[in-house]
């Protein structure tokens, strides 16, 4: 299926050239010393007092060219391994958010460890989710000390899901803790280096900065050969120019700088070109992610990433609505559609409301249905002899029907997507069945999954080892 392209070949080249000019003339503020030293040794101009690094365009091009165009991230159940390329689209629901929308009360509250267990079980049960964000990414889990939230969050993830689970990249120690836990799943650290079982995000700071903690995490994951999503969170009009092209230049500079560092640490480190780009709503001063402009940024980001031969991670299913209403529905759909049609390879944020500040169990199951529809859309229409079905048409003839044809049964589930929540009954039947709205159907689906879905159990020896790591991290943090 033809992709939705918002940039032509010349425009991609112009953005690339402008990016290299910015990195060479303006530079990046890089707060982490090891990264600055690596760049200095490779020809960058470094001012350690201001932490400003100006990077020659040749060095950027050389470094980015070493990033692989495809890689596999392993799950503890091999059937959920994810083979990432520039030609596929996967969905990564948001799990760890500071807040959760309580379905029983309708009130937003802080997310607890028990909530994380439920969120992971729901995400694990959803057929259209492949890469799972986890509580390891959360700076705070209610009832858990912030210093150990990453290991409790990661354990919650792998204990309640058998799919690929994300770890934190916030600082060297936390990153090493999650990498060590992932090595248990991989069968040891050497096996982990050969076969990634974890990935993380390194968020830049717009405009044109890399924070110390995220850069430490980037370096540690790269050292161990684990994939890193280097993502910029530009806000057009605030932390980047109000023009979308100017925002893309800032974003591109930040992401390419992070990718360059990963390749200086370990050439061939798997990376995603990441965007969380949006606009600032000048009426409210808030970031707006559920916008058509965010969709355009995502589509353009996919084109830029693929220009460099790198898989891309973007955002979709984002909304500014505080509840699961019509606004949430149309904002989630338009952001998912534009990003997927544009070629984003990993679509992040299903499950959220309220500027991605709040997670919802019901939103996870609703968004899974939207993701399923989007997946069907981007597969397009297959045209060949079997799909043209002339022989079947001849067999049925004029005035007949196709309900009893073997061809119908052979191709039904391939050609038609069947959502689990959408109501397609006649009104009288809908009313007879209780006249449920979508949010009610979603709540019922959540209850059913939590009652019936049991993830594949962790092997007892691995669970014991993971719990031991959590205990050791707790002891280390108590000791100061």
Say which CATH number the domain at 15 has. Answer: 3.20.20.480
Please check whether residue 405 is in contact with residue 396, taking contact to mean a CB–CB distance below 8 angstroms.
Answer: yes
CA proximity to 339, closest of 301, 308, 299: 299
Question: Reduced to 3 states, what is the DSSP secondary structure of residue 465?
Answer: helix
Strand partners, 273: 230, 312
Q: Exposed (0-12), middle (13-18) or buried (19+): which is 227, by Cβ within 10 Å?
A: buried
Round to whole Å and give the CA distance between 422 and 405: 26
Kindly give the pairing relationship between strand 352-353 and strand 358-359: antiparallel
Three-class SS state of 172: helix
Q: Are 289 and 277 in contact (CB under 8 A)?
A: no
Range of the domain at 410: 385-415
* Count of domains for the chain: 2
Torsion angles phi and psi, residue 477, rounded to 5: -70, -35
Please indicate, yes or no, whether residues 54 and 199 belong to a single structural domain of this protein: yes
pLDDT of residue 225: 98
Residues 118 and 192 grouped into a single domain:
yes
136/133 Cα distance (integer angstroms): 8
- Of the three residues 400, 415, 430, the one that is the final residue of a domain is 415
Dmax of the chain from CA atoms?
82
Please indicate, yes or no, whether residues 42 and 142 belong to a single structural domain of this protein.
yes
Q: E-strand spans in 233-305?
A: 235-236, 271-275, 278-281, 286-288
Q: What is the pLDDT of residue 105?
A: 82
Q: Do residues 399 and 344 share a domain?
A: no
User: Within this chain, do residues 304 and 390 fall inside the same structural domain, yes or no?
Assistant: no
264 with 144, same domain: the answer is yes
pTM for the full model?
0.96
Same domain for 410 and 280: no
Q: Mean of the per-residue pLDDT values for the chain?
A: 96
Question: Do residues 216 and 266 both lie within one domain?
Answer: yes
Q: Clarify whether residues 363 and 402 are in a common domain.
A: no
- Tens-binned pLDDT, residue by residue, of the chain (480 aa): 789 999 999 999 999 999 999 999 999 999 999 999 999 999 999 999 999 999 999 999 999 999 999 999 999 999 999 999 999 999 999 998 999 998 778 899 999 999 999 999 999 999 999 999 999 999 999 999 999 999 999 999 999 999 999 999 999 999 999 999 999 999 999 999 999 999 999 999 999 999 999 999 999 999 999 999 999 999 999 999 999 999 999 999 999 999 999 999 999 999 999 999 999 999 999 989 999 999 999 999 999 999 999 999 999 999 999 999 999 999 999 999 999 999 999 999 999 999 999 999 999 999 999 999 999 999 999 999 999 999 999 999 999 999 999 999 999 999 999 999 999 999 999 999 999 999 999 999 999 999 999 999 999 999 999 999 999 999 999 998
Q: How many CB atoms lie within 10 A of CB 432?
A: 10
Same domain, 23 and 137: yes
Shared-domain flag, residues 405 and 260: no
Asked if residue 268 lies in contact with residue 222, where contact means CB atoms within 8 angstroms, the answer is no
Whether residues 374 and 389 share a domain: the answer is: no
pLDDT tens for residues 62-96? 999 999 999 999 999 999 999 999 999 999 999 98
């Amino acid at each position: 299926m033809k992709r939705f392209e918002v940039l032509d070949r010349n425009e991609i080249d112009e953005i690339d050239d402008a990016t290299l000019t910015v990195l060479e003339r303006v530079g990046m503020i890089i707060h982490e010393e090891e990264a600055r030293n690596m760049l200095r040794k490779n020809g960058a101009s470094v001012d350690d007092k201001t932490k400003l690094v100006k990077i020659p365009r040749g060095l950027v091009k050389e470094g980015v060219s070493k990033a692989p165009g495809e890689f596999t991230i392993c799950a503890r159940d091999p059937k959920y391994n994810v083979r990432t390329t520039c030609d596929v689209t996967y969905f990564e629901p948001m799990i760890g958010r500071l807040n959760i929308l309580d379905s029983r009360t309708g009130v937003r509250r802080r997310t607890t460890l028990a909530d994380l267990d439920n969120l992971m079980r729901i995400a694990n049960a959803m057929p259209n989710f492949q890469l799972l964000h986890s509580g390891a990414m959360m700076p705070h889990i209610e009832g858990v000390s912030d210093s150990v939230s990453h290991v409790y969050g990661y354990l919650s993830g792998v204990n309640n899901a058998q799919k690929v689970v994300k770890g934190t990249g916030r600082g060297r120690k936390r990153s090493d803790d999650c990498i060590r836990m992932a090595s248990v799943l991989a069968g040891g650290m050497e096996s982990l280096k050969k076969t990634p079982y974890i990935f993380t995000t390194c968020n830049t700071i717009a405009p044109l900065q890399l924070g110390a903690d995220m850069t430490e995490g980037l370096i540690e994951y790269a050292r161990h050969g684990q994939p890193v999503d280097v993502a910029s969170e530009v806000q057009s009009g605030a932390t980047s120019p109000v023009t979308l092209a100017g925002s893309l230049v800032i974003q591109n500079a930040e992401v390419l700088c992070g990718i360059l560092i990963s390749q200086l640490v370990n050439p061939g480190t798997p990376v995603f070109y990441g965007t969380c780009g949006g606009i600032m709503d000048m009426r409210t001063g808030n970031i707006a992610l559920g916008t058509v402009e965010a969709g355009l940024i995502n589509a353009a980001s996919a084109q830029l990433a693929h220009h460099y031969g790198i898989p891309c991670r973007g955002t979709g299913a984002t909304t500014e609505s505080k509840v699961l209403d019509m606004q949430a529905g149309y904002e989630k759909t338009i952001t998912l559609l534009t990003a997927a049609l544009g070629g984003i390879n990993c679509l992040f944020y299903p499950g959220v409301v309220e500027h991605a500040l709040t997670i919802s169990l019901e939103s996870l199951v609703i968004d899974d249905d939207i993701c399923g529809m989007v997946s069907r859309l981007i597969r397009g229409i297959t045209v060949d002899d079997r799909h043209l079905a002339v022989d079947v048409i001849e067999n049925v003839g004029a005035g007949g029907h196709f309900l009893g044809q073997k061809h119908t049964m052979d191709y039904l589930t391939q050609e038609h997507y069947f959502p689990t929540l959408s109501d397609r009954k006649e009104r009288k039947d809908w009313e007879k069945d209780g006249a449920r709205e979508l949010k009610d159907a979603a709540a019922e689906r959540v209850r059913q999954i939590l009652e019936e879905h049991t993830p594949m159990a962790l092997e007892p020896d691995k669970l014991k080892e993971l719990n031991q790591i959590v205990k050791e991290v707790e002891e280390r943090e108590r000791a100061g």
